[in-house]
């Protein structure tokens, strides 16, 4: 099941990255300046971020299989449609629609892992599907540039959108939810529930009759939830630089041509895949060695965020290859932390029916960084005459803020108590 989630996230990020890679080659056709480029990139994150809140609640109610499929169908059709745009207006509309379609992806995968995996295996499982983001970014660089070189940027959208439709069909045919009606055996159920899997049907996980029901808005009363939101905002601000502006950085600041962009543009994503798997393995290994969930998760979160701040030093090196190396280390360190980030909703949800809702809340905040980051980078580039110094320095500073947030604002990593505020 986690491999299906990995494939879904890979296709998701290929479709998401297609615009970033194509944008330098769309500017002449559609007459797009740097300020408008930032707006176009950020429009996706407006609906993607806002969509996280209802998406999480709908997934908790109707299940990850149904909602991930609906979202996948929408984003695949929109990606195909982007290949037909003729101006900035229709492109902005397509970006808004793409964000809405992709909104269920992250909370669906987090929900799936929370139901299928015990706590001691959860971080590694989360790192597998979360690596779809890195794999998609890495695959997109050579594939999309090859499609652009072959038939132009419009063909890139048509092909990647068609591939997404194939994934939707595969998901609907093969994914099963961990319920008796979908074939969950008694042995499987005993194994995952003994290890802390968050099955809605588990009596031990139901809210006690004497306790009040957990209202959705009450989740915001907890300091840990706000720490999760702020920390993931900082992490995703930098990750979205790689997804949105990184190709333009290589072309405009480091002079890469289309061939070099296709080859070297994939490098940070490939390195980040290893970083994510290492982060998941490390967190789970620490748990198996007797560390508390709090200590294991926070160690990976804080260390990864601190190491990722090396992105700021890329502005100090004259060599494009050294800059690429520093950016690769930064992306890998972010991915190292991301495995534990993806585990937090299942770790702290007060009941199983709040896992996707918490994932949606966390992802909502993180994708506000997409809106602000894409736009801010575009504005800084316009103000500083296309220099990437200020955007990269700001990214490094936010990495440090994220580390402090996970270390000091997030409290004990355990199911939220109804009486805690």
pLDDT digits (tens, 9 = 90+) for 134-166: 888 788 888 999 999 999 999 999 999 999 999
Give pLDDT, residue 185. Answer: 59
| DSSP H/E element including 156 | helix 153-174
Determine the Cα–Cα distance for residues 130 and 220; give it in Å rounded to an integer: 25
pLDDT, residue 352, reads: 78
Q: Tens place of pLDDT for every residue, the chain, 421 residues?
A: 788 999 999 999 999 889 888 888 888 888 887 778 878 888 888 898 889 889 888 988 888 999 999 999 999 999 999 999 988 899 999 999 999 999 999 889 988 888 888 877 888 888 888 888 888 878 888 899 999 999 999 999 999 999 999 999 999 999 987 664 455 556 655 555 554 554 554 444 444 444 445 566 778 889 999 999 999 999 999 998 887 788 888 888 888 877 788 778 888 888 998 999 999 999 999 999 999 999 999 999 999 999 999 999 998 888 889 999 999 999 999 999 998 998 898 899 888 778 888 888 898 898 888 778 878 888 888 888 888 899 999 999 999 999 999 999 999 999 888 654 4
Alpha-carbon gap, residue 282 to 261, rounded angstroms: 32
> Please, which residues have CB within 8 angstroms of residue 76's CB and are 6 or more apart in sequence?
15, 101, 161, 162, 164, 165, 167, 168
pLDDT for residue 148: 92
Residue 154 has a pLDDT of: 94
18, 38, 157: which is closest to 92 by C-alpha? 38
Closest CA to 25 of 122, 113, 155: 155
Beta strands in 293-386 (DSSP E): none
Q: What is the DSSP string of 169-218?
A: HHHHHH---SSGGGT--HHHHHHHHHTT---TT-GGGSPPTTSPP--GGG
CATH topology of domain 2-176+219-409: Growth Hormone; Chain: A; (1.20.1250)
Q: Which two tokens stand for residue 264?
A: 């070297």
Q: Which residues of 235-273 are buried (b: 16+ CB within 10 A; e: fewer)?
A: bbbbbbbbbbbbbbbbbbbbebebeebbebbbbbbbbbb
């Amino acid at each position: 099941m986690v491999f299906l989630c990995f494939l879904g996230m890979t296709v998701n990020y290929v479709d998401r990255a297609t615009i970033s890679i194509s944008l330098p080659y769309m500017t002449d056709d559609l007459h797009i300046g740097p300020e408008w480029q930032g707006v176009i990139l950020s429009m996706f994150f407006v609906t993607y971020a806002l969509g996280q809140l209802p998406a999480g609640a709908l997934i908790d109610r109707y299940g990850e299989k149904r909602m991930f499929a609906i979202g996948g169908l929408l984003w695949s059709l929109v990606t195909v449609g982007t290949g037909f745009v003729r101006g900035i207006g229709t492109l902005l509309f397509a970006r808004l629609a793409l964000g809405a379609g992709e909104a269920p992806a992250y909370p669906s995968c987090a929900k799936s892992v929370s139901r299928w995996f015990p706590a001691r295996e959860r971080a590694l499982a989360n790192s597998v599907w979360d690596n779809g983001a890195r794999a998609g970014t890495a695959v997109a660089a050579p594939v999309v540039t090859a499609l652009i070189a072959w038939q132009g940027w419009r063909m890139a959208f048509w092909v990647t959108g068609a591939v997404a439709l194939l994934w939707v069909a595969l998901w609907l045919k093969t994914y099963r939810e961990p319920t008796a009606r979908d074939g969950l055996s008694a042995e499987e159920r005993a194994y995952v529930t003994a290890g802390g899997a968050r099955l809605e049907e588990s009596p031990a996980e139901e809210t006690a009759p004497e306790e009040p029901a957990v209202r959705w808005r009450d989740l915001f009363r907890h300091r840990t939830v706000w720490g999760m939101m702020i920390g993931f905002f900082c992490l995703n601000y930098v990750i979205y630089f790689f997804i949105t502006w990184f190709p333009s950085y290589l072309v405009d600041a480091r002079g890469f041509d289309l061939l070099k962009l296709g080859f070297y543009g994939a490098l940070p994503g490939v390195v980040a895949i290893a970083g994510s798997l290492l982060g998941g393995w490390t967190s789970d290994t620490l748990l198996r060695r007797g560390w508390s969930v709090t200590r294991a998760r926070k160690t990976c979160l804080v260390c990864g965020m601190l190491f990722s701040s090396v992105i700021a030093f890329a502005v100090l090196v004259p060599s494009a290859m050294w800059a690429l190396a520093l950016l690769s280390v930064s992306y890998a360190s972010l991915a190292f932390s991301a495995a534990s980030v993806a585990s937090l909703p299942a770790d702290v949800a007060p009941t199983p029916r709040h896992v996707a809702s918490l994932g949606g809340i966390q992802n909502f905040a993180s994708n506000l960084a997409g809106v602000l980051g894409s736009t801010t980078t575009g504005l800084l580039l316009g103000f500083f005459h296309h220099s990437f110094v200020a955007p990269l320095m700001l990214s490094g500073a936010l990495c440090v803020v994220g580390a402090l947030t996970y270390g000091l604002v997030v409290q004990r990593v355990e199911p939220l108590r109804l009486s805690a505020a």
